[in-house]
Amino acid sequence: MIVDYKMRILPQSSRETKTEFFGKRGWSFHSVLVYTKNMEQNQLDIQIFDHWSNDTRQDAWFTASSLHTVIETMNPKPKWITIMSDNGMHYHCSELMLIIGHWKEWYNIIPRKWIFLEAGEAKTAIDSHHAQVHSTILSP
């Protein structure tokens, strides 16, 4: 799984200054990109799950809720999961790690590893997805 937040979706303009950006409200947009391998067909399956909130806070609880929805939707459920994300406080916090510590008990899924990428240092496929969604929303 690759997880990421789009900072804010602002419907007014995609070319705002930082001052304009931080002075406004918007929507939180959290995406989960899931790569699974179909062992019978030896194929890679890719799904994207988008979650929206009119609250711009990005916290462990919204993140956990988003991940819960994805796991409950997956069929069949994987035996294990590796997660990649940036190093944001909403991912790199004790609350979320405690929740994920229960995944084996709740979902019968072993969280093998969480890879934290440095912010701004690594772009993933999810960044391209966010750019496409953002341009679609702002299209006239």
| Tally of CB atoms within 10 A around 91 | 20
The total number of structural domains in the chain stands at 1
Domain span including residue 133:
2-138
CATH of residue 130's domain is 3.30.420
Q: Would you give per-residue pLDDT tens digits along the chain (140 residues)?
A: 878 776 555 555 445 555 554 544 566 778 888 989 888 888 988 888 888 877 767 788 888 999 999 999 998 899 999 998 888 888 888 999 999 999 999 999 999 999 888 766 656 767 666 666 766 665 55
With beta carbons less than 8 A apart as the criterion, state whether 10 and 21 touch. Answer: yes
